Amino acid sequence: MRGLLQRVSSASVSVSGEELGSIEQGLLVFLGLEPEDTKAQGIALIERVLNYRVFADEQGRMNRSLRDVRGGLLLISQFTLAADTARGLRPSFTSAMAPAEAEPLFSALFAYADSAHDTVAGGRFGADMQVRLVNDGPVTFSLTGKSS
């Protein structure tokens, strides 16, 4: 499981011109699922995202979490994060979880995030989405849901 976290001043997601979700200050998280990923790993990753200290405190240090600043979370499924890019000039997606398995897992993780945080928005699984964002910083981190 891979998460690409971006601190944003605003972000939104649309499908076919219809806006499905938007947030102001907060985090945009693209989530890529791999075949061995579990719901428990996903919940741990969501908790890490909600508590990851990427917002500035009074001294300008990254010491505040999404929960601390009461920011929004925009959670987007993105299978391309699970791509194998080790060789060649075209990514392989054999390392991504099959859509039939990924959709219910992503839905469960979205539901968990929605129950654990006040402001959560998302797109549509498997859709051709247009994501707009204003990256604040820019601040971008790659997180993994696998235990070490």
pLDDT in tens, 36-83: 999 999 999 999 999 999 999 999 999 999 999 999 999 999 999 999
Catalytic residue (choose from 6, 25, 41, 78) = 78
pTM: 0.94
Domain boundaries along the sequence of the chain: 2-144
pLDDT in tens, 112-142: 999 999 999 999 999 999 999 999 999 999 9
CA distances to 94, 98, 123, 135 from 130, in Å: 24, 22, 9, 15
Burial 97-122 (b: 16+ CB within 10 A, else e): beeeebeebbeebbebbbeebebbbb
Superfamily of domain 2-144: D-tyrosyl-tRNA(Tyr) deacylase (3.50.80.10)
Active site residue 79: yes
Closest CA to 49 of 110, 109, 3, 9: 3
Catalytic residue (choose from 30, 55, 79, 106) = 79
Active site residue 78: yes
CA distances to 14, 88, 134 from 46, in Å: 22, 33, 22
